[in-house]
Amino acid sequence: MNMKRDLLSAFDMKDDLEDIVDLAISLKKRRYDYDPVLSRHILGMIFEKPSTRTRVSLETAIEQLGGHAIYLNPNDMQIGRGETVADTARVLSRFVDFISYRAHSSENVAELARNATVPVINALDNKEHPVQIVADFMTMKEKFGKLQALKLAYVGDGNNMANSLIAGAAILGMNVSVAAPPGHKPDSSIMQRSKDLAKKKSTSVEILDQPEDAVANADAVYTDVWVSMGEEAEKKEKEKQFAGYQINDSLMAKANKNAIFMHCLPAHRGLEVSASVIDGPKSVVFDQAENRLHTAKAILLTLHKSRSRGQ
């Protein structure tokens, strides 16, 4: 019986997110000392949007674990000529052992997973970016030695990154404060589910208007681009709306003394973050980027182990 597991949302790691983080930390410590446990395993990678960290980390991860990746541009596939997502899932499942999908639509990611018989990894969609947050929480645990009861402040657009970070923080027993301008708040359903989880753990999830309020006493201050992929037409308008939400030295000074600055990259210096912050001593953005490799391996191994148990 095939008990395949998918990673479509942060909530899909509700029971083992910190275990995956800890596995990634252990893999990092023995970067070139591991068994090729995914020998002969193939990862099919469908990317509808550009990617640097997600693509390279996943390709490198499966290669280091003994497998191989196939990059699939929709323009070179029949899906680009009208083949359904469901049929694409059924066909690829006959060829590969994992599918990662960077999609414009979360509905398409869910449709692919429903029809695939191999594990599906959400490599970013319009609603969430679950693989990124594993690296983010790994970086926090490396810096602070723990995750529980830390305060994460997110300032900026309530986008897919914000959604996954809020859910992940709630799962891990962290406090999270988000400052976003009106009309750009995180997804309401994710917020409610995260608040319900936080209540059980006696932590908090709050949405605020002022960045200063969100950042107060934070251990980690996080931001993302104001204009996400596909929103380029809204660039000038969004920059006006977000003008007061830049992470700069004065805002970072309101966080805890040992607070770190985080960004999933790519970053735009002078917009969502000042150069003095992202290139300063509190910045851990390139640690986050490196940790994408180790967490990609941990995710692949976790999904593989889950599937193996079901066979």
- Phi and psi at 186, nearest 5°, equal -65, 165
Q: Between helices 85-93 and 106-115, what is the axis angle to 10°?
A: 40
Indicate if 264 belongs to the active site: yes
Strand stretches in 16-97, DSSP E: 42-47, 68-72
Name the active-site residue from 129, 193, 263, 294.
129
Which of 102, 263, 294, 304 is flagged as catalytic?
102
CA–CA distance, 33 with 119 (Å, rounded to integer): 26
Phi, psi of 27 (to 5 degrees): -65, -35
Residues 133/157, Cβ–Cβ less than 8 Å = no
* Annotation says 224 is catalytic: yes
User: Is 219 labeled as catalytic in the residue annotation?
Assistant: no
Catalytically annotated residue among 53, 193, 292, 304: 292
Lookup: tokens for 25: 């930390």
What is the DSSP secondary-structure string of 223-235? E--SS-TT-GGGH
Beta strands in the chain (DSSP E): 42-47, 68-72, 98-102, 120-122, 151-155, 175-179, 205-208, 220-223, 260-263
Of 123, 119, 121, residue with least CA distance to 132: 123
Q: Which of 6, 41, 193, 264 is catalytic?
A: 264
Residue 206: both structure tokens together:
């709050």
H-assigned helices in 145-256: 160-172, 188-200, 211-215, 235-241, 249-252
Catalytic residue, chosen from 6, 53, 224, 246, is 224
Q: Cα separation of 287 and 300, whole Å? A: 20
Q: What residues act catalytically? A: 102, 129, 132, 224, 264, 292
